[in-house]
């Protein structure tokens, strides 16, 4: 079985990379949006810090710059688009063809996701360099946190991808998922540290965020890379990531069995 997937993923990745290169213009448009968002928040919070004497919530201007530049990279590695496309996949019968294959559709989606991120690094890395030159961020990297950040980011991607793939299955029961998707994206925007670092939010909100998976998808790896956590906190959060991943996988397996039986799209 392991050998099967070791042969499967390189094939999927080669196809996905070629497809991403072919449609690189649309990819660049997506990337521009993912770059603009953190830059806007960076500018806003930097101005707030300047207005309050150079610091707010323990973050100075150059620390806000470091936070949002690292967040931009982490979000690029972990984000998925499956919830945007799953409805049309079911509605127009594309899934019928995928179900005829002897492999779960999630493997192709994961390959597409990884391929997109690899190809679009040609846009992301120059943008990071330009932002560093403009905003002069203050990074507080430590060797232990950089090492732990590798599994933390991989787990963040795994949790986010699995959870959002599972939530996308709602489209099996309704073809009008935009309201559900928008509600989810609003929640993750707030509780994942994208709007503001968690330290700037009220204590009650921080407690709620720590009980939800969204913090562990984005904000936790960012704080870890920036040296905002102790080794004990980092290890605890990695264990929590593993717990959320196990939960998401069990939910995915259970819901997928029911969802396929429900499938009745055109072309089925």
CA 116, CA 204: separation in Å to the nearest integer?
A: 37
Percent of the chain with pLDDT over 90: 50
CA 169, CA 149: separation in Å to the nearest integer?
A: 30
Give, in order, the Cα–Cα distances in Å from 9 to each of 2, 3, 103, 154. Answer: 11, 10, 11, 17
Take residue 202 and report the two structure tokens written for it: 């009220």
Among candidate residues 74, 73, 81, 143, the one with its CA nearest the CA of residue 112:
81
Q: Is 196 inside any structural domain?
A: yes
Summarised one tens digit per residue, pLDDT across range 147-181 is 999 999 999 999 999 999 999 998 888 777 888 88
Residue 264 has pLDDT above 60, yes or no: no
Domain that holds residue 69: 2-262
Summarised one tens digit per residue, pLDDT across range 64-94 is 999 999 999 999 999 998 988 888 888 777 8
pLDDT band (50, 70, 90) for residue 265: very low
Among candidate residues 195, 43, 228, the one with its CA nearest the CA of residue 134:
43
pLDDT, averaged across the chain: 88
CA 65, CA 196: separation in Å to the nearest integer?
A: 12
Rg (CA), the chain: 20
Among candidate residues 168, 143, 175, 190, the one with its CA nearest the CA of residue 248:
168
Q: Is 267 inside any structural domain?
A: no
Quick one: pLDDT at residue 267?
45
Q: Is 68 inside any structural domain?
A: yes
Quick one: pLDDT at residue 75?
94
Query: Which has more confidence, 265 or 16?
Result: 16
How many independent structural domains does the chain possess? 1
Quick one: pLDDT at residue 2?
62
Summarised one tens digit per residue, pLDDT across range 224-242 is 999 999 999 999 999 999 9
CA 29, CA 22: separation in Å to the nearest integer?
A: 14
Quick one: pLDDT at residue 25?
63
Q: Is 268 inside any structural domain?
A: no
Rounded to an integer, the average pLDDT of 116-140 is 90
Q: Is 21 inside any structural domain?
A: yes
CA 62, CA 53: separation in Å to the nearest integer?
A: 13
Q: Is 139 inside any structural domain?
A: yes
Rounded to an integer, the average pLDDT of 13-29 is 72
Q: Is 257 inside any structural domain?
A: yes
Q: Is 16 inside any structural domain?
A: yes
């Amino acid at each position: 079985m392991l050998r099967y997937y070791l042969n499967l993923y390189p094939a999927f990745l080669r196809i996905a990379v070629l497809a991403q290169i072919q449609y690189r213009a649309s990819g660049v448009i997506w990337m521009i949006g993912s770059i603009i968002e953190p830059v806007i928040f960076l500018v806003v919070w930097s101005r707030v810090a300047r207005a309050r004497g150079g610091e707010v919530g323990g973050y100075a201007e150059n620390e806000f710059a470091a936070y949002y530049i690292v967040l931009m990279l982490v979000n690029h590695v972990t984000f998925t688009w499956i919830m945007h496309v799953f409805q049309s996949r079911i509605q127009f019968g594309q899934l019928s063809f995928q179900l005829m294959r002897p492999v779960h559709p999630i493997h192709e989606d994961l390959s597409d996701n990884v391929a997109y991120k690899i190809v679009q690094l040609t846009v992301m890395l120059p943008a990071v360099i330009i932002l560093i030159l403009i905003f002069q961020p203050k990074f507080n990297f430590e060797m232990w946190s950089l090492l732990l950040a590798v599994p933390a980011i991989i787990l963040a991607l795994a949790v986010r991808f699995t959870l959002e793939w599972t939530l996308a299955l709602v489209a099996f029961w309704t073809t009008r998922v935009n309201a559900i998707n928008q509600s989810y994206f609003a929640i993750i925007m707030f509780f994942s540290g994208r709007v503001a670092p968690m330290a700037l939010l009220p204590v009650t909100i921080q407690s709620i965020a720590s009980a939800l998976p969204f913090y562990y998808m984005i904000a936790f790896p960012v704080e870890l890379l920036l040296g905002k956590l102790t080794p004990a906190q980092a290890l605890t959060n990695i264990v929590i990531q593993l717990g959320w991943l196990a939960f998401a996988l069990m939910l995915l397996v259970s819901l997928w069995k029911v969802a396929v039986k429900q499938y009745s799209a055109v072309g089925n």
